[in-house]
Amino acid sequence: MPQRIDGSGETIRFTFEGREIAARAGDTIAAALIAAGETATRQSVVSGAPRGPFCMMGVCFECLVEIDGVPNRQACMIEAAPGITVTRQTADEVVA
Ligand code: FES
């Protein structure tokens, strides 16, 4: 399980699948989710299997989530913000 190196930084909170997630200011959504133990961010469109962040640099698209009702957002490229609502991208949502 990945762990943070230090405990400094302002804490912000958002929700993921209804769970409150604490992140540090400047964290990407993917980094905050991994730090919170949430490794599955979407479902495979082929099998429905859980998928999660892999490259953490915007290349693989394994980290797609829905943010405030908008699907197909890359969690590794978007900074966490206070109060946002993040959900897993389900297999029935089409990748644009
Ligand atoms: S983890 Fe690869 S694009 Fe986000």
Q: What is the residue-level pLDDT of the chain in tens, covering all 96 positions? A: 777 777 678 999 999 999 999 999 999 999 999 999 999 999 999 999 999 999 999 999 999 999 999 999 999 999 999 999 999 998 887 555
CATH, range 11-88: 3.10.20.440
Q: Is the dihedral of CA 38, 17, 81, 96 positive or negative?
A: positive
CA distances for 54 relative to 7, 42, 69, 83, angstroms: 24, 12, 23, 25
How many A from CA of 76 to the centre of ligand 1?
5
Q: What is the pTM of this model?
A: 0.90
Q: Is 65 in the pocket of ligand 1 (CB under 6 A)?
A: no
Ligand 1 atom with least separation from CA of 52: 1
Alpha carbons 19 and 86: distance in angstroms, whole number:
10
Backbone angles phi and psi of 32, in degrees to 5: -65, -40
